[in-house]
């Protein structure tokens, strides 16, 4: 019996050493590839293990690295824990006023429920439901209740420089269309190009300075500023577009989510023949209101896919403020981040393995080791209640999201599902790869100078080589 135990223990030791040796051999090949690309291996960290947690690759996996947007996997993990599949958020129209015939004798309140996915389709649903009340005239104003979250639009944890592109959109409990609009530019037969802002509302004024030129030239700049006296956003679109280009689109964010949402509600109601006589204001709805219309969001797991597939920073921050509401009465970023921290600690991560101050990765202060992030991914791989949702939220290699143009080779198509990350000097990739009728989790992070595309090539080639040789 004693001999059998000794043999068994020896077998485990031999097998463990074999896995370690294999991992070292694979890592050596990977480091050779990095050097062949004239990159420094010390700027890379990676960890990849199979379904039984046996390492396939490991290099500097205990080093704290700047993760960029794969931070969203940390946020997603907490969202799946505290806002489980099927969770929905509600946006309401309510009023304390009486209804006399077809007239609402007071204000109409638009009450935000912190829905990151509240877009034009939801606004139409809300307007149509309200139209069925028979009300044709609102004698008061549209009052936007944005109080479920705090009033901080741009959290201090973001990078300090603001830009007007959609990825840097502000957040608010009452938000609409990701707090961004579409700027469509088309050439014409005249000197001036055609510029359309979508959706249309009284929230903004457009100044079109785009010229139509010959050929395929394209140079577009969108500038926006807030006119405090008129309480309007001024969008100035400049540049040129060639006659050979059918249409070009730019996505720009707005400054005031509450007023933006209110103006769009007024516009949608007008298209249903409903007149608002008052202005767009902000306020807080009281408990004695009558609910006149209500729109539910899509389930939280589908919102999570919006965040991960397109690396949407706005959605990440909105969901983090929703996480705060699981512990307090108002959505605050700091409290939501603390929910994420405590969740990660519950998965076995220690303070010296990660640091998170912003949920989207739009900061240079976040840190995590590749091994720690692998532990998060591996946890969800083996957790039945969250595994399908985590996996389906990720971009599919060669198919959609931020991986649409990667892993397009026939042998690799749809074999990788992973979150990407990119900041100046940072390139990262983390997720799952098809592995012997199952999947295995991997994490790659590059922190260093040079061309980000080279770091991406290294990561993709390593995954492809090991997948094809499995």
Q: Which residue has the tokens 């790659």?
A: 444
Q: What is the pLDDT of residue 274?
A: 98
Query: How many other C-beta atoms are found inside a 10 Å radius of the C-beta of residue 316?
Result: 27
Q: What is the pLDDT of residue 165?
A: 79
Quote the pLDDT of residue 166.
82
Residues of the chain with pLDDT under 50: 1-22, 25
Query: Whole-angstrom Cα distance, residue 226 to residue 232?
Result: 6
Q: How far apart are CA 184 and CA 247, in angstroms?
A: 7
DSSP label at residue 133: T
- Inter-helix orientation angle 300-309/313-324, to 10°: 140
CATH number assigned to the domain covering 90-296? 3.50.80.20
270 by DSSP, 3-state: which?
A: helix
Evaluate the omega torsion of the peptide bond into residue 199 and state whether it is cis, within 30 degrees of 0: yes
Residue 21: the pLDDT is: 42
Q: Would you state the pLDDT for residue 9?
A: 37
- Which residues on neighbouring strands pair with residue 390, listed in sequence order? none
Contact 57, 462 (CB under 8 A): yes
Q: What is the pLDDT of residue 6?
A: 38
C-alpha 26: how far from its chain's center? 33
Helix (H, G, I), strand (E, B) or coil at 416: strand
Report the top-level CATH class of 16-86+300-468: alpha beta
Measured between alpha carbons, how far is 81 from 411 in angstroms, rounded to an integer? 34
H-type helices in 104-162, by residue range? 120-131
Task: Please report the pLDDT score of residue 27 as a whole number.
Answer: 67
| Domain boundaries along the sequence of the chain | 16-86+300-468, 90-296
Q: Residue 179 in contact with residue 260, Cβ under 8 Å?
A: yes
pLDDT at 160: 77
Contacts of 9 (CB under 8 A, 6+ apart): none
Q: How many residues does the chain have?
A: 470
Q: How many other CB atoms sit within 10 Å of the CB of residue 467?
A: 17
Q: Which residue has the tokens 């408990």?
A: 287
């Amino acid at each position: 019996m004693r001999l059998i135990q000794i043999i068994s223990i020896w077998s485990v030791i031999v097998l463990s050493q074999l896995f370690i040796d294999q991992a070292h051999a694979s890592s050596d090949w990977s480091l050779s590839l990095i050097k062949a690309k004239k990159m420094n291996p010390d700027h890379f960290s990676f960890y990849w293990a199979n379904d039984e947690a046996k390492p396939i690759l490991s290099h500097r996996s205990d080093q704290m690295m700047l993760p960029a947007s794969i931070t969203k996997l940390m946020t997603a993990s907490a969202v799946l824990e505290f806002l489980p599949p099927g969770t929905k958020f509600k946006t309401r129209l309510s009023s304390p006023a009486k209804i006399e015939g077809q007239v609402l004798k007071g204000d109409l309140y638009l009450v935000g429920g912190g829905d990151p996915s509240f877009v034009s389709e939801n606004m139409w649903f809300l307007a149509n439901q309200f139209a069925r009340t028979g009300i044709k005239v609102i004698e008061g104003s549209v009052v936007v209740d944005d109080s479920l979250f705090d009033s901080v639009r741009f959290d201090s944890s973001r990078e300090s420089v603001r830009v007007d592109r959609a990825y840097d959109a502000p957040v608010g409990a009452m938000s609409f269309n990701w707090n961004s609009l579409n700027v469509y530019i088309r050439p014409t037969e005249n000197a001036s190009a055609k510029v359309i802002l979508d959706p249309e509302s009284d929230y903004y004024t457009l100044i079109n300075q785009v010229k139509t030129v010959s050929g395929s030239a394209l140079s577009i700049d969108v500038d926006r500023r807030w006119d405090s006296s008129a309480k309007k956003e001024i969008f100035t679109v400049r540049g040129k577009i060639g006659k050979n280009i059918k249409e070009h689109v730019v996505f720009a964010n707005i400054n005031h989510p509450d007023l933006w949402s209110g103006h769009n509600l007024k516009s949608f109601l007008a298209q249903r023949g409903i007149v608002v006589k008052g202005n767009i204001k902000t306020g807080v709805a009281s408990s004695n209101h009558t609910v006149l219309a209500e729109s539910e969001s899509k389930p939280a797991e589908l919102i999570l896919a919006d965040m991960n597939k397109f690396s949407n920073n706005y959605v990440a921050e909105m969901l983090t403020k929703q996480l705060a509401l699981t512990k307090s009465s108002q959505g605050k970023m700091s409290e939501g981040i603390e929910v994420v921290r405590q969740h990660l600690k519950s998965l076995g991560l220690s303070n010296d393995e990660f640091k998170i101050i912003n949920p989207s990765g739009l900061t240079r202060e976040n840190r995590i080791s590749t091994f720690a992030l692998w532990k998060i991914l591996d946890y969800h791989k083996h957790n039945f209640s969250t595994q399908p949702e985590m996996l389906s939220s990720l971009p599919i290699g060669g198919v959609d999201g931020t991986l649409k143009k990667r892993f397009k080779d026939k042998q690799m198509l749809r074999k990788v599902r992973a979150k990407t990350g990119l900041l100046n000097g940072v390139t990262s990739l983390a997720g799952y790869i098809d592995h012997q009728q199952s999947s295995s989790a991997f994490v790659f992070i590059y922190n260093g100078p040079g061309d980000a595309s080279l770091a991406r090539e290294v990561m993709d080639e390593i995954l492809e080589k090991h997948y094809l040789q499995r």
